[in-house]
Structure 1
Amino acid sequence: MKVITEVNRPTTTRTRQLLWFVGLWAAGVGVTALVSYGIRFWLR
């Protein structure tokens, strides 16, 4: 896997991508936690 770093890319785009990544990661963790607790409660 090659990592291509673009020097000409503005920092706003990079920050936006980072925020998107963090947001999607947090959403995935939240959904996983909700499903986990839901299954635990359902099986109890």
Structure 2
Amino acid sequence: PVPILFIIPDPEVTFSFPWAVPPNKIDLFGSWSMMAFLLILTI
């Protein structure tokens, strides 16, 4: 169980990168990728 705690934040940082971009600069793909990632993360 402990290694999982180190593996999960790695892709989380990768997929949360679009949040570093101003909202008016994010295209449709960026918005959907954030929503898909949050959905997978909450399941």
TM-score, structure 1 as length reference: 0.43
* Structure with more relative contact order (C-alpha pairs < 8 Å, separation 6 or more): 2
TM-score, structure 2 as length reference: 0.44
- Structure in which a larger fraction of residues adopt helix: 2
